[in-house]
Amino acid sequence: MGLFDKFKKKNIDKNSVSNNIFLQFTRVFEPSNDLVKPTEEELKQFENILPSELLHFWREYGFGNYDNGIVKVIEDMLKAFMVVQNSYYHEYL
């Protein structure tokens, strides 16, 4: 079974604007019990950079494994994102 086949099996309405993608994500990819929530300081770094919905998701659920490790949301992605945002390459895209 492919990674996105789980979405198909759950019959998620892709066309409904009212559906929250992060709520759908947690229904399909169950959060593990050992997720690590970011600090408010970490989240503030991204306040005007990333969508508020993503920051809310991180605040509510945290980083770690979802659906027994099929999907990993890791805090290193924050650091990598900041490097790209501040890089020479990003300025001249």
Per residue in 13-60, pLDDT (tens digit) is 544 433 478 888 999 999 999 999 999 998 998 888 888 888 889 999
Cβ atoms of 43 and 55 closer than 8 Å = yes
26 vs 49: CA distance, rounded Å: 23
Q: What angle do CA 19, 21, 23 make, to 5 degrees?
A: 85
Q: Is 5 exposed, middle or buried (0-12, 13-18, 19+ CB in 10 A)?
A: exposed
Regarding pTM above 0.75, the answer is no
